[in-house]
Chain A
Amino acid sequence: MKERHWIVCVKAVVLDAAAGPARRTAANSILNPFDAPALALAFDLRRILGGTVTTVSMGPPAAGPVLRETLALGADRAVLLCDPAMAGADTVATAAVLAAAVGQLSPVDLILFGTRSADSDTGQVGAQTATALRLPLVADVQTLVWHDGRCRVTRDCDGFLETYDLDFPAALTVRPEAAATGDLALGRLEAAFAGQGPHVWDLNRLGLSPGAAGQAGSPTVVRQLTPVGQRKTCRFIEGDDAAKADELVRRLVDGGLIG
């Protein structure tokens, strides 16, 4: 039986909101917190079914430490997709580059993504990459079990729990509750930074033309980012504790903040 291969696409996200297009550095970039559960789920799959975990990220050299962090957390291999011509990519161009990388890393059983990134927050890249690879995708996966030789996943959709059985290869976007993330051990962090870092692949290595990537390959362009101020107001709720709680819940429901 061939060895399983789990690929996790991750992003180095900026910690603070930028006034314009974000410039990532090692100091201001972290592993997208929404990708950590996808990575943890890949480790769970490796523990149950064996195989190797590869992490892939498109980004500038400053994304390298984040990929080393994935190695410290337990990834077997990391690949940084890095080329000046990849800069300014929208989600379509990002998916094109990730799909090209997955093609080169194949065979693969499952490609895992977080549900969205903490900085640009589109939630599109997982679906677009699966589409580019013509692979089935289940989005917002909450649980995954191995059942009768197939992968069974569930997702909550509008109050219904959907259950899917999947054949590999396939792609998933993973919700935070799908897998428990672990703390980084100091020895593993040291080893990850002392050992071989991520492989670095440019467009040439991926077999892509500059027109397919970065700003040139992006149908959309971010023209401007403008902070939107939030006006805070304070309303007092009167009554005894039970009445105050009921009124608070009613206002939150009426405001569409809880369902």
Chain B
Amino acid sequence: MKIELTDKHIVLRRTVRSFADREIRPIAAAIDQEARFPWEVVEKMARLGYFGIQTPRELDGAGMDSLSYALIVEELSRASAGIGLCIAVHNSVALYPLLTFGSEAQKRRWVPPLARGERIGAFCLTEPNAGSDAAGIEATAVADGDGYRVNANKVFVTNGAVADVCLLFVRTGTTGGKEDISVVVAERETPGFAVGDLEDLCGMRANPVSSIRLCDCRVPAFNLLGRPGMGLQIGLAALDTGRVGIAAQALGIAQAALDESLRYARQRRQFGQPLARHQAIQMMIADMATRVDAARLMVYRAAALKDDGRPFGTQAAMAKLFASETATAVTDLAVQIHGGYGYSKAYPVERYYRDARVTRIYEGTSEVHRMVIARGVLG
């Protein structure tokens, strides 16, 4: 197969890179340090279509393919991983299930405002006692008249503090098994919906990750996505798509770390010559560039397979696993090349180092991804 960017993808990459360099990069360190969600940039991105990348045009999206989505997330994450995360999650695990499993009426109601960026989406699966073990969730949606009464305590919700439309994984049955799990859409305005404190995270601090609690929250039956008991199916399909986004995000962080390391190694002199002339540094640069290149091929391949309508789940899991481990390895080497300055906020590599770490944890840990890959390989 051919993994090649078309003219459209080349122009798109340049367009997004130029926007990110001008609008996001200059504030990236500040929004990280202040843990601030930059509404001023987010609103511009909304007007430009970044919140509806793969949403069809008739639902007010840009109607782009998965490779375009990956390129956009990569380029945004190269400037600020927290902003890249906002766009990745909103477009994949929040919008994708609505587009794939939503009824026509549900799509008409929720998708256009999300695609226009007037409302922000979130995916609420993780709970204090259920992370990798998704079937262990305790949130409930009990039938109540013509709807459900929902009680839930969701944690580590990406976009949580700004989310308007949340896909909530809940138990609608009482067997205790995974067939009880369903997805309901909960909107911020609903009485009983409460946003908790921001999580005080190591990285991704520009994203308002928070907990979300629903206490006796009445949700109409209309808000059930798919059928009762389809929750895990919806979740797994969403995560297959989401993996491409997180892999692209990790790739963007790794590329940023490589870029900074190249710049620093050429400029910083030790023992009478630039760092780039020292073989020890060259070995690190070679490893970094090789891993980034391989990660890029894997991410683009997974996206291209999805665009071709071919099975891509295993390849997306491989891309997510490899790109996230690449990001942590490459940012670690970037800090090493920068020495003491790399451990200081005077240079961006310490931020990349912190941001990279979570890509091995969220939307499926590396260990869960190895399980997914093994299942795909062993059959």
- Say whether A65 faces chain B, with CB atoms less than 8 Å apart: yes
Q: With contacts defined as CB atoms under 8 Å apart, how many contacts are there between chain A and chain B in the complex? A: 59
Residues in A neighbouring B48, C-beta threshold 8 A: 183-186
Interface residues of B in 1-16 (CB under 8 A from A): 5-8, 10-12, 14-15
- Say whether B50 faces chain A, with CB atoms less than 8 Å apart: yes
Residues in A neighbouring B61, C-beta threshold 8 A: 187
User: Nearest CB to that of B48 among chain A residues?
Assistant: A185
Give the A interface residue count (CB, 8 A): 18
Which label, helix, strand, loop or mixed, suits the secondary structure of the B interface? helix
Q: Is the CB of B12 within 8 A of A189?
A: yes
Which label, helix, strand, loop or mixed, suits the secondary structure of the A interface? helix
- Say whether B63 faces chain A, with CB atoms less than 8 Å apart: yes
User: Nearest CB to that of B14 among chain A residues?
Assistant: A30
Nearest chain A CB to B14 CB, angstrom units: 7
Contact of A193 with B7 at beta-carbon distance under 8 Å, contacts A183-B48, A186-B48 already known:
yes
- Say whether A145 faces chain B, with CB atoms less than 8 Å apart: no
Interface residues of A in 146-204 (CB under 8 A from B): 183-187, 189-191, 193-194
A186 to B115: give the CA distance in the assembly, Å.
12
User: Nearest CB to that of B65 among chain A residues?
Assistant: A190
A26 to B11: give the CA distance in the assembly, Å.
8
A72 to B68: give the CA distance in the assembly, Å.
16
Q: Is the CB of A187 within 8 A of B7?
A: no
- A-binding residues in B (CB < 8 A): 5-8, 10-12, 14-15, 19, 44, 47-50, 52-53, 57, 61-64, 68, 72
- B-binding residues in A (CB < 8 A): 26-27, 30, 64-65, 68-69, 72, 183-187, 189-191, 193-194
Q: List 28 A-B contacts (CB under 8 A).
A: A26-B7, A26-B10, A26-B11, A64-B7, A65-B8, A65-B11, A68-B7, A68-B11, A183-B44, A183-B48, A185-B48, A186-B62, A186-B72, A187-B57, A187-B62, A187-B63, A189-B8, A189-B11, A189-B12, A189-B15, A190-B8, A190-B57, A190-B63, A190-B64, A191-B57, A193-B7, A193-B8, A193-B11
